[in-house]
Amino acid sequence: MSKNSAPNNNVFYRNQNWRYPKIVKAEGIYLFDDKGNRYIDGCSGSVVANIGHANKEVAAYTKELMERISFTHLSRWTVDEIEKTAKKIAEYAPGDLNHVYFLSGGSEATETAIKMARQYFVERDGVSSKWKIISKWNSYHGNTLGALSMTGLSSRRKIYDNYLINFPKIDQFYHYRNKWNLEDKVESSIKAAEELEQEIKRHGAENIAAFISEPVVGSAAPGVYPEKIYFDMVRDICNKYDILLIIDEVMSGFGRTGEIFAVNHYDLIPDILVAAKGMSAGYTPIGCTIANDEIFNTIMVNGSGHFIHGHTYAGNPLSCGIALKVMEITERENYVENAKKQGNYLMEKLQSLYKYECIGDIRGKGLMIGIEFVQNQKTKEPFSKEINFKTLLMEACFKEGLIVYPGGGSVDGNLGDHILLAPPLSVSKEEIDVIFEKLEIGIKSVNDKLFR
């Protein structure tokens, strides 16, 4: 007797016990399966489909581009589409983040940031002992081994621990569960930032190359963000100890939070900014690692002139062209502004959900909103693993035709249930109303089962 369902095709899926509906068509915020069911994509896949699904303009452009040119390798050739896309991204990025290194996704992009930081110090100083990257618990930076070494999610790391680089980790800015029991978010943000300086001192600044942080936390503790003071302090600490600041905008970048990049909420200029997902809104796999002038010039102009790195599909003209088209549409349709407007509207509506006992914390920026669920609102006690709240809720919403992004482990790496709400940035007010209605039905049904 096997433990899980028998395979019914040749795909090595992520979960053998999930019955995968077969999607045959998509449009805007909707997905349609082969049984005629319609689903609202309330999380844009995995916070990717920023301009909505099956955009005809992107499809027509892709056909035209593909008929003209499909692949060149960035070691030999350049193409207009590659240069124009880099220029556009450099215009969007703050400060002197002017140099765009293309990749095929988020994990590749965060791993690239590690190597970029390391090579910068070696080229600058000749020999350098700086190599460690400080990251955080309750963070996600990707699943490849370098990215996973920075990721602070025990459940994802556990069985691969032998392969991982032992990077230092500090606690996340996580006001709702701040260990100092501070009421004031400014104070908990200050305490969280102070931990960076303490960790640098513990390891010695001469051994630290960079600190990496998400500006608004994604899947690990969705929607969690600090007060501005946190990033003011972090920027100063990094400068003081000659440590690069890497900001991971793989999820938050390209408009998701109501700003083109979430660093704008804090007037923050990192040394390296990493993005992916919304960069092409899912129309092609692409990501990027953006370096500032200092890093680029040290390696490429005044140094060896070669970044010792590279991937076959990095900087292919097709993906670059499609990403540029997506940016053009995002700009023309004011989707970043819409993310702010609809995000505020949804956040306002969500406040009424606190009447359900299971609601712990609702937080986020723009259309990147997290809801954390608890057994007890007063004590913040999480649900036990056996209850599997996040799956119950995901299934209840699924029944209503709403897809939400479930996750867990934010309390101690194991316990804690949350969902991420992140519909396409093209979502309308009326569609937000429907999303809310379906979400409330899902939450109420699980809440009633557990508390009545």
The contact set with ligand PLP (CB under 6 A) reads 46, 105-107, 110, 140-142, 214, 218-219, 248, 250-251, 276
Residue nearest to ligand PLP (CB): 106
* Residue tagged 């992004």 (tokens): 405
Nearer to ligand PLP, 142 or 226 (CB): 142
Return the structure tokens found at 451: 């508390």
DSSP codes joined into one string, 145-173? HHHHHH---HHHHGGGGGGS----EE---
DSSP state of 297: I
Q: How far is the CB of 339 from ligand PLP (least distance, A)?
A: 17
Q: Is 317 helix (H, G, I), strand (E, B) or coil?
A: helix
Nearer to ligand PLP, 106 or 152 (CB): 106
Q: Which amino acid is at 120?
A: Y
Nearer to ligand PLP, 251 or 336 (CB): 251
Q: How far is the CB of 107 from ligand PLP (least distance, A)?
A: 3
Facing residues of 134 across strands? 211
Nearer to ligand PLP, 142 or 408 (CB): 142
Q: How far is the CB of 290 from ligand PLP (least distance, A)?
A: 14
Q: Is 418 helix (H, G, I), strand (E, B) or coil?
A: strand
Q: How far is the CB of 248 from ligand PLP (least distance, A)?
A: 5
Cα distances (Å, whole numbers) of residue 258 to 102, 173, 181, 217, 339: 24, 21, 30, 15, 5
Q: How far is the CB of 18 from ligand PLP (least distance, A)?
A: 18
Q: How far is the CB of 5 from ligand PLP (least distance, A)?
A: 25
Q: How far is the CB of 138 from ligand PLP (least distance, A)?
A: 12
* Beta strands at 272-275 and 368-373: parallel, antiparallel or unpaired: unpaired
Q: Which helix (H) or strand (E) holds 210?
A: strand 208-213
DSSP state of 95: T
Q: How far is the CB of 252 from ligand PLP (least distance, A)?
A: 7
Nearer to ligand PLP, 262 or 392 (CB): 262
Nearer to ligand PLP, 251 or 374 (CB): 251
- Our separate counts of H helices and E strands in the chain read 13, 15
CA 323 to chain centre: 17
Length of the chain: 452
Nearer to ligand PLP, 105 or 409 (CB): 105
Q: How far is the CB of 157 from ligand PLP (least distance, A)?
A: 14
Distance CA 172, CA 179 (A): 10
Q: Among 193, 215, 197, 315, which Cα is nearest to 274's? A: 215
Return the structure tokens found at 80: 């207009």
**Tally of CB atoms within 10 A around 300:** 15
In 283-388, alpha helices (H) = 293-296, 317-332, 335-350
Contact 274, 290 (CB under 8 A): yes
> Could you give the dihedral angle defined by the CA atoms of residues 223, 48, 16 and 35, in that order, rounded to the nearest 10 degrees?
120
Nearer to ligand PLP, 312 or 384 (CB): 312
Nearer to ligand PLP, 106 or 409 (CB): 106
Nearer to ligand PLP, 212 or 432 (CB): 212
Q: Among 211, 199, 203, which Cα is nearest to 134's? A: 211
Nearer to ligand PLP, 135 or 447 (CB): 135
Distance CA 280, CA 293 (A): 25
Q: How far is the CB of 109 from ligand PLP (least distance, A)?
A: 7
Distance CA 16, CA 400 (A): 23
Q: How far is the CB of 104 from ligand PLP (least distance, A)?
A: 8
